[in-house]
Amino acid sequence: MFNVSSGAQMSQEEQALFSDSFSWVGQRLPMLVKANRKLSRRKMSEISSIKGSVSPEREVYTAPVKLFDALGYVASSWTSTAREKQLPLVAAVPGYGYWVVYDLDNRGAWLVEGPAGRDAVDQWPEGTKFIPVASRIVEHAPVSASHDIDRAITSQRSWIFFFVLASVVATILMLATSLFSMQVYDRVIATGGLPTLVVLMTGVLGAIFVEFLLKVARASIVRHMTKDVDVACGRHVFSRLLSVRLDAFPQAVGTLAAQVRGFEAVRNYRTAKTTYMLSDAPIALIFLAVIFLLAGPLLAAIPLAACVIAILCGFSFRKAIERHTQKENLVGNKRQGNLVEVIRNIEILKSTGSDWFFKQKWQSLSEQTVDETIETKKLSELSTFIAGAIQQISYVLLVSAGAYLAMSDGGITIGAIIACSILSGRILTPINMIPGLLVQSAHSKAALQNLDALYRLPVENQTVDNPLVPEIIQPDFKFDRVEFSYAGQQSSLSFDKFHIYEGQKVGVVGAVGCGKSTLLKLLSGECAPSHGHLLVGGIDIQHIDPGRRVELISYLPQQTRLFGGTLRDNLTLGLPHVEDQKLLEAAEKTGLMQVISGRHEGLDTPIHEGGSGLSGGQAQLVAVTRSILSDAKVWLLDEPSASLDETFEAKCIAALAGRIGAEDTLVLVTHKAALLSLIDRLIVLGSDGQIVMDGPKSAVLQKLNPPQTKRSTYRNKKTGATAVAVDPVADSAE
């Protein structure tokens, strides 16, 4: 196959070969090597800069390494020899570009694949280099909020190492004050050694200063670690929320928002527990060991017994604290939901005068929240008071036991007693932290239950580990015994065999609540059938990567909502870079240009949080314009002109008609006759979610609106008889 040649200088033609084959390798590798993710067209555009670096000869070997990193593969080293155990390999072949080596046949020839197809190679050209391709090993651990948060914490190993190191050194330095007291009472006072006192004082002051610096450094480490963990946890939880399928999405928005924020309570507890176990608890053990060395087992047994009793007392409150904390979180989430509901519907509340009802509801929930908070605080304080009393009793017993041993010639000095008394207080300080940790643990447990409930919700591509990212998808839909129902409801849609062909323009009509909007959600892939399969281009739509689906399908929901930012941000939402000229041309076609021109800020018009800043009709113009800017092959439009007057509706219809190509597929839900000009096939859904009528628009409309008759009644004045004249009237439904 190859002509063996040696050429040190790379020609422009050869550089072009490497550049073109580089793009092929980037798209082909995910299909040949099992990876933890694949590339959509948007992801390929992100690494286009890597392709640009292939042209210079010196980048031929560095560009694939960058590509491997972007794909999630392990980047290895280039070698001049191909080895079977390293397969698959990427080969950089002078004069031919990049090839993938995937096997070795029985006769010893290398099986390769390139942009032109597959072949076998007996001898490689001089200068050929090889690099192994291997995916990063991904452990399929149970998907849960606890796993994601723990993973975020364990990823901070370097911070944890420095934290432990600073804690150990600070702990050693903390012994300086106790040992200083012992030496002063046992040696300095007894001998009157003033120079010794000065030396000891200078040393202990230096130790205190260094300990202070270490504590500051340790606090800084904790802050940095907490920030990194918080960002990572937030990213994991938020990503999980966005991946939940629309049909499984919780309806209680405010409660859900409060539950999502619960990861902060989990992170706080896990971080506090980690630092406690690595720093505070070991300090108590170290100080206990020092007491044993200074004063023997009797004095060491007193703070040890106090620790055990304090821990048992603290944990005896655990169940009660958890019970009240769970109630507090439950009621607090409801209160948050009530607040969000009031803010979103404030105009309705004011216009109906029903604000008193929500005031009462808020007051009731607030009282319940405060009551549970007080109960939790009361238990925590009681546990803290008991721990404090145990600490004081331990101090008294230790000093008394030390004095007894000193008086009975037990071999202990006054300085040792004072040093042990200081250390005993520091031993019980970590124990006094247990009540606070118990409260944090209870909040964490309640929050974790909410987060795990979120993680149990079905997500997009639920059963597919590696979603498909096909370059070409035929825009036709096939329903195969599809049934759909929302959780806890009866079946709302049912299709046995149903086909929407490529290029068809389909309208869907029916009574309110018959499932028209739900049908579009199924077609967009945002909802998954409860039974059966929905195929797009012959592929189950739930097997396709959501990012690729969005590139193929332009879905315009019935309810248009804008996001905080600017008008430009909302127009280009989810789209790659859009040039201003293209944006303005689309706005001109839909009539949005009148809105832009009438604002001083133009495209930078601020849209406030919640989408306020434009009227309902203007917001719908934004949504229609954004759809026109997309590069879609399937158009799913749900009442696209519901909030528009006749003038803007006509503009939008003309804009859509000019944008939707002959080969594009359109599914339109509408109650307006004007929009029927966009379709050629009409489907009527019944109240049971099944197709009642389906066929050409004119035929279905004729069945829906049969020829009407005009009846005229005449009365004979002489006989009093009545006659009826019937004149057919042509149907004007079209």
| Domains delineated in the chain | 12-135 (3.90.70.10), 145-455 (1.20.1560.10), 477-704 (3.40.50.300)
Instruction: Determine how many CB atoms are found less than 10 A away from the CB of residue 3.
Output: 7
Q: Which two tokens stand for residue 41?
A: 């067209």
Alpha carbon dihedral 142, 144, 147, 148, in 10-degree steps, equals: 120
Alpha-carbon distance of 208 to 200, in angstroms, equals: 12
Going by pLDDT thresholds of 50, 70 and 90, the confidence category of residue 281 is confident
**Tens digit of pLDDT for each residue in 624-661?**
999 998 888 999 999 998 888 888 999 999 999 999 98
Place of tokens 């050209």: 125
If you compute the radius of gyration of the chain from its CA atoms, what whole number of angstroms results?
A: 37
Going by pLDDT thresholds of 50, 70 and 90, the confidence category of residue 462 is confident
Q: Which one has a higher pLDDT value, 575 or 203? A: 203
Q: Is the pLDDT of residue 607 over 60?
A: yes
**Tens digit of pLDDT for each residue in 234-250?**
788 888 888 888 877 77
- The conformational region for residue 343 under phi > 0 = left, psi -120 to 50 = alpha, else beta, is alpha
Highest mean pLDDT among 20-34, 107-121, 242-256, 494-508 belongs to 494-508
Instruction: Check residue 728 and give its pLDDT.
Output: 37
Alpha-carbon distance of 381 to 60, in angstroms, equals: 67
H/E stretch holding 315 reads: helix 297-316
Name the average pLDDT for the chain: 79
Q: Which two tokens stand for residue 52?
A: 């640009």
DSSP string, 106-173: TTSPEEEEETTEEEEESSPPTT-EEEE-EEPP-------HHHHHHHHHHTTHHHHHHHHHHHHHHHHH
Q: Which two tokens stand for residue 328?
A: 């507090």
Q: Which of 367, 368, 346 is nearest to 358 (CA)?
A: 346
Q: Which of 368, 188, 352, 333 is nearest to 255 (CA)?
A: 333
Please name every residue paired with 497 in a beta bridge, in sequence order, or none if there are none: 480
Please name every residue paired with 112 in a beta bridge, in sequence order, or none if there are none: 101, 119
Highest mean pLDDT among 277-291, 413-427, 502-516 belongs to 502-516
Going by pLDDT thresholds of 50, 70 and 90, the confidence category of residue 683 is very high
Please name every residue paired with 92 in a beta bridge, in sequence order, or none if there are none: 98, 129
DSSP string, 381-448: HHHHHHHHHHHHHHHHHHHHHHHHHHHTT-S--HHHHHHHHHHHHHHHHHHHTHHHHHHHHHHHHHHH
Q: What residues have CB less than 8 Å from 18, skipping those under 6 apart?
A: 54, 55, 60, 92, 97, 98
Q: Which two tokens stand for residue 142?
A: 């149970």
Please name every residue paired with 566 in a beta bridge, in sequence order, or none if there are none: 606
Q: Is the pLDDT of residue 182 over 90?
A: no
Q: Which of 184-198, 290-304, 507-521 has the lowest mean pLDDT?
A: 184-198
Instruction: Check residue 733 and give its pLDDT.
Output: 35
**353 phi and psi, to 5 degrees?**
70, 30
- The conformational region for residue 79 under phi > 0 = left, psi -120 to 50 = alpha, else beta, is beta
Instruction: Check residue 310 and give its pLDDT.
Output: 81
Q: What residues have CB less than 8 Å from 592, skipping those under 6 apart?
A: 586, 618, 621, 622, 625
Instruction: Check residue 624 and give its pLDDT.
Output: 92
Instruction: Determine how many CB atoms are found less than 10 A away from the CB of residue 705.
Output: 12
Instruction: Check residue 732 and give its pLDDT.
Output: 35
Q: Which of 168-182, 318-332, 587-601, 720-734 has the lowest mean pLDDT?
A: 720-734
Give pairs for 389-393: CB < 8 Å, separation 24+.
390/306, 390/309, 390/310, 390/313, 390/428, 390/431, 391/306, 391/310, 391/425, 391/428, 391/431, 391/432, 393/306
Instruction: Check residue 47 and give its pLDDT.
Output: 47
Residues of the chain above pLDDT 70, percent: 86
